[in-house]
Amino acid sequence: MHPGNVKTPPPPRSSRVRLDLLYAFEAAARHLSFTAAGDELALSQSAVSRQIQQLEDNLGAPLFERRHRALALTEAGRILQRAVEDSLERRPTPAAASDRRRCRGRSRSPARRASPRSG
């Protein structure tokens, strides 16, 4: 084989996918809008777009067809959407997890005892 014909393999992709990227994907896929997904997740449209790009880079496949002012899922996007919908439904939302962490840090005030009435 001639050395000029040898193709270098693509860089290895991570086998783990960050959960926040899956939440962004799921919301964007459901709404077919990065803006609506951002509103739901308290992120900017740009942040959602960057997260989707990271996920696509990580998986090595486009998940959305970007059209003028519209999104459509690719075949890979539809497959991933089906895979993550059930999984994410079983997990708490990022906001709920954040609320639980915040609540754990709060101190609880001691319960007040009822004072006996003087008669």
Q: Write the pLDDT tens digit of every residue in 11-25.
A: 555 568 899 999 999
Helices 75-89/19-31 angle, 10° precision = 110
Q: pTM of this prediction?
A: 0.64
Q: Write the pLDDT tens digit of every residue in 74-106.
A: 999 999 999 998 887 776 666 665 555 554 454
Residue 72's φ and ψ, nearest 5 degrees, are -140, 145
Comparing C-alpha atoms, which of 4, 43, 3 is closest to residue 24? Answer: 43
The radius of gyration computed from the CA coordinates of the chain, to the nearest angstrom, equals: 23
Domains, the chain, ranges and CATH?
Answer: 19-91 (1.10.10.10)
Q: Write the pLDDT tens digit of every residue in 29-62.
A: 999 999 999 999 999 999 999 999 999 999 999 9
Identify whether the C-beta of residue 29 lies closer than 8 Å to the C-beta of residue 20: no
Comparing C-alpha atoms, which of 81, 75, 46, 82 is closest to residue 61? Answer: 75
Q: Would you state the structure tokens that stand for residue 66, as one six-digit string?
A: 């970007």
Q: Is the pLDDT of residue 117 over 70?
A: no
